[in-house]
A and B are shown apart, each in its own frame.
Chain A
Amino acid sequence: MKLSYIQRIAGAVLGYCSLLLLMAAFSGTSYAVSTADHTRFKELQQDFKSGPEVTRACIKCHTEAAKQIHKTNHWTWEFLNPDNKQRLGKRNILNNFCITPQSNFAYCTACHIGYGWKDETFDFTSEESVDCLVCHDSTGTYSKPPGKAGHPKDTVDLKHVAQQVDKTSRDTCGACHFFGGGGNGVKHGDMDDSLAVPERELDVHMDAVGEDFTCATCHRHVEHDVAGSRYTPEAAHSEDYHIHRKQFEEENNAHCRACHGNKPHKKVDKSRLNNHAKKIACQTCHIPRIARGGVATRVTWDWSTAGKLDESGNPLQQRVDGNLVYHGKRGTFTYAANVEPEYIWFNGEVRYLLLNEKAVVNEDGYVPINDFGGSPDDGKSRIWPVKVFRGVQPYDPVMGTLVVPHTTGLNEDAYWKNFDWEKAITAGMLSAGQPFSGKVDFIKTQMSWPINHMVAPAEDAVGCDECHSKNGRLKDIEGIYIPSRDASVRLDTAGWFITLLTLVGVLMHGFGRIVSNLWSKR
């Protein structure tokens, strides 16, 4: 069959277009590295109108994924501490950052791995409400703004994101965890977006051109349940190497010894350093400072100063060195970069101050929102680095409890709308089902965060003299004798006495040798 000239041109054009499309499909826009090319799945070749539509397509093949997610803390935001039976999790506890998601769900669930959690009516059994993309996006274009109850931005190209899904990455985990507390590096101090592309000096494991660990390298998951909970952290790990061993599949591998074992120091003065590991957490020496990646971490937050407006009637905002130091909706903040952590004895037991419990001020004048257990004598504690975050937040002086303010949203009860604490707290406590006297005062609180990330290379670890000195890092740690820091009159006297005896012995021996030598010559 002979083709006309036009047909030949059309054929050539069609072929060229096909070639371009293939280039775009298979090499051009691909971010994912996977054994499955999701662009070729018919289920994903549609213009999705919403997140749940994407999930419906995902679970046609990944039939168990949503059911697995339903069992995880990432989904329930609830955790029952098996030791002290406290009902914890993001939906139950308070903090001294944004205080609590309660009565503010539509705003805070921007960081929930689901769609639609705006109030108590949210259906936790709905499979299509699971957000697959927030953890599996590889394009970096997927985002969930506050106020949409976990739904993505309207501008997100859901088809493109769904076709480019991949394993989780530092970017996907970091989209929430780097920004905990409402901004970059605000909450943790050892996690901010500098860890997306870290240098070796910032994190020796995550080094983007070195080991290139993702979060999931340590925080391994079993059926979507990710290891490493801060509600029941493990302060001391007695077991030896076990990562990648099948029999330990369901154990927490998110700790140093899972890879480094119980005798981690192999080179210099190994026995002395390995002995240190019996009383000191690895993190104490190997994370010398936090907020080292160029992002300052917030260290204080004073809600009592909130409410100032500018000339236009909008919440006043002030920045210093790029950091937000005042916001009319939230109050006053201070920051620090390259921060030396504080140190405590920690045995892994954490007790939280819950909404229905009295707020008790400690000897430093703060209400501890979480209390870390530990002592030098219990045999299971290590000296740990922590970031201690101090704040001033609203409380009920009559009931003696911390309170839930309804801050977010545009309704008349919301603090960010009316700047009236009594109205906001009345609405918040009603939503939380807790009593409120109607009186509002402010109280100083503190909260501790164990430090685990930003592990420095060995050569940058804390030096001996930084602890073995009078005013060193561990100056406030009690119950352990640290040479050069501590002095005991009896021990020092005994030591000097032995030294003196040794000196006398050496001198006498030397004198005897000289005398006997002279004697023999005579």
Chain B
Amino acid sequence: MKRHKSVFAVLVVILLAVSPVVEAAKGNWKKGRIYYRMVCTDCHVNQAGGKISPAEKTKAEWAEYFEKNIHGPQDAPAKYAASYFVSKEYRESIKDTNRAAAKMLKIPDEQLLEDVKAFLNHTAKDSDQPSRCE
């Protein structure tokens, strides 16, 4: 019986490890692109010294960024976590000046975060971007 329990525990651990892989594919990159360009980029251009191209980081670097979940300076309050800037609370705070935030107000925080992650994964430095003649 003890042996069965340990087999079960190992399987559970494996399955839990596999789960995030499936989760990672949940986002809709097109919705994430709208939010990134119209909300994230809009703010960065107007208030933070310029836009940040998704191609400035590799997929792993973007994953690490979201893992650490720190958006601003290291010593910034918890409110400035990366996930805060896709939250309903944040969208609500800028909805009067940002049409995209207003339009996407009802999307659950977790879903929108996945959408943005999917977009960044899609266009990261090491993503498989379409080739051009140039």
Q: Show the binding face of A for B, using Cβ within 8 Å.
A: 5-6, 9, 13, 16-17, 20, 23-24, 27-29, 31, 98, 107, 110, 140-146, 153, 155-156, 171, 175, 179, 182-184, 196-197, 199-200, 208-210, 324
Contact = CB atoms under 8 A, between A and B. Distances in A.
Contacts of A29: 25-26
Residue of B8, B131, B133 with highest tally of chain A CB at under 10 A = B133
A184 B25 contact: no
Interface stretch (B31-39, B58-66, B70-78): B31-39
Given A9-B7, A98-B133, A182-B134, A140 B122 contact: yes
Nearest to A184: B132
Contacts, number: 84
B4 A6 contact: yes
Given A20-B18, A143-B129, A209 B99 contact: yes
Contacts of B133: 98, 107, 110, 146, 179, 182-183
A31 B28 contact: yes
B43 to A, nearest CB: 14
B1 interface: yes
B17 to A, nearest CB: 12
Given A28-B25, A140-B29, 6 more contacts: A5-B4, A13-B11, A20-B15, A31-B30, A196-B33, A209-B100
Interface in B92-106: 99-100, 102-104
User: Top 5 A-B pairs ranked by shortest CB distance?
Assistant: A143-B130, A145-B131, A182-B133, A209-B103, A183-B134
B22 A23 contact: yes
Interface string B1-27: 100100110010001001100110110
27 contacts: A6-B7, A13-B11, A17-B15, A20-B15, A24-B25, A28-B23, A31-B29, A31-B30, A98-B133, A110-B133, A140-B29, A140-B122, A142-B130, A143-B128, A145-B130, A145-B131, A146-B133, A155-B128, A182-B132, A184-B132, A197-B34, A199-B38, A208-B34, A209-B34, A209-B38, A209-B100, A209-B104
B3 to A, nearest CB: 10
Contacts of B103: 209
Contacts of A140: 29-30, 122
A196 B122 CA distance: 15
Given A5-B4, A28-B25, A143 B18 contact: no
A200 B33 CA distance: 16
B122 A16 contact: no
Contacts of B23: 28
A6 B7 CA distance: 9
Q: On chain B, which size bracket covers the interface?
A: 20 to 34
Nearest to B129: A143
Interface in B103-123: 103-104, 122
B60 to A, nearest CB: 18
A197 B38 CA distance: 8
A146 B132 CA distance: 7
Given A13-B11, A98-B133, A110-B133, A197 B22 contact: no
Contacts of B128: 141, 143, 153, 155-156
B99 A200 contact: yes
A153 B7 contact: no
A294 to B, nearest CB: 9
A142 B122 CA distance: 12
B19 A20 contact: yes
A153 B130 CA distance: 9
A200 B99 CA distance: 10
A27 B114 CA distance: 12
Nearest to A155: B128
B87 to A, nearest CB: 18
Contacts of B25: 24, 28-29
B120 to A, nearest CB: 13
Contacts of B19: 20
Contacts of B102: 209
B86 to A, nearest CB: 16
Nearest to B103: A209
B18 A146 contact: no
Contacts of B129: 143
Contacts of B30: 31, 140, 171
A211 to B, nearest CB: 12
A49 B25 CA distance: 24
Nearest to B99: A209
Contact of A146 (B1, B122, B131): B131
B15 A13 contact: yes
Contacts of A107: 133
Nearest to A97: B133
Contacts of B132: 146, 179, 182-184
Contacts of A183: 132-134
Contact of A208 (B7, B22, B38): B38
Contacts of B34: 197, 208-209
Nearest to B19: A20
A155 B131 CA distance: 12
Contacts of B7: 6, 9
A210 B103 CA distance: 9
A197 B33 contact: yes
A23 B24 CA distance: 12
Contacts of A142: 130
Nearest to B1: A5
A97 to B, nearest CB: 10
A52 to B, nearest CB: 20
Nearest to B15: A16
Contacts of A208: 34, 38, 100
Contacts of A23: 22
